[in-house]
Amino acid sequence: MAKHVVAAVGDIPPGTRRLAQVNGRAIVVFNLGGEFFALNNRCPHRGGSLCQGRQTGLVESDGPGNYRYSRPGEIIRCPWHGWEFDIRTGQSWCDPTRVRARPYTVSVQPGTRLVAGPYVAETVPVSVENDYVVVEA
């Protein structure tokens, strides 16, 4: 699996996401409070573009009238049929045993290392002064 530089860290501030094209694949990269995660942009249910969905939290209930809302912003909701996926793992909350949005390994690398290679910087100019988001795909 090749490593691809998809953005400078500053291009994806915490709470935002960004779509990257890696080897012809659309991958959406999320910044959750400084941690980066990446999912295949194509919803595994019926193909909606996850990047255009809404980031929401986890709603749990153990009975009518009792609700807990946790992990705000860590769940992506498909813009079409509303299937929800855990941004950290890709796990589906609709059908957790059978369906998962494909996750990719993401890391942050300093420009000093990237300039030396063996990274593929497709469209992102790399300089030694910055840190970069790197997706393995």
Judged by the rule CB under 8 A, the positions of this chain that interact with another protein are: 17-19, 26, 41, 46-49, 51-54, 79-82
CB atoms within 10 A of CB 50: 28
Q: How far is the CB of 48 from another protein (least distance, A)?
A: 7
Q: How far is the CB of 116 from another protein (least distance, A)?
A: 28
Query: β-pairing, 120-121 with 3-8?
Result: parallel
Nearer to another protein, 15 or 47 (CB): 47
- Calpha distance 7→122 (Å, rounded): 10
Q: How far is the CB of 53 from another protein (least distance, A)?
A: 6
The CA–CA distances, whole Å, from 106 to 20, 67, 96, 136 equal: 12, 33, 22, 6
Nearer to another protein, 52 or 112 (CB): 52
